[in-house]
């Protein structure tokens, strides 16, 4: 079984630990801690990607270069 819990470190509590213990009672588990990068920060980390995203936001604001998709076409 593979389960992902995503939470802020400040949200860790005894209740959470007890719930994990109860869920995986008598089984060996592996706990891996990985810091999650903010999605916006990640998307803006590349200069080319940042320019593309900002240009797209500007296009939406100006109602230019928009693509219309009809639900029937999907």
Q: Please give the pLDDT value at position 25.
A: 96
Instruction: Count Cα atoms within 13 angstroms, Cβ side, for 47.
Output: 0
Look at residue 3 and tell me if it is in a domain.
Answer: no
pTM of the model: 0.49
pLDDT in tens, the chain (74 residues): 889 999 999 999 999 999 999 999 999 999 999 988 888 888 999 999 999 999 999 999 999 999 999 999 88
Note whether residue 2 is domain-resident. Answer: no
Is residue 4 a part of any domain in this protein? no
The answer to whether residue 44 is domain-embedded is yes
Residue 41: domain span? 9-73
Are 54 and 48 spatial neighbours (Cβ–Cβ below 8 Å)?
no
């Amino acid at each position: 079984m593979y389960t992902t819990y995503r939470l802020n470190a400040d949200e860790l509590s005894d209740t959470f630990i007890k719930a994990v213990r109860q869920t995986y009672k008598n089984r060996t588990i592996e706990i891996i801690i990985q810091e999650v990068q903010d999605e916006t920060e990640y998307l803006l980390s590349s200069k080319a990607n940042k320019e593309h995203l900002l240009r797209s936001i500007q296009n939406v604001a100006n109602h230019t270069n928009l693509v219309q998709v009809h639900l029937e076409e999907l």
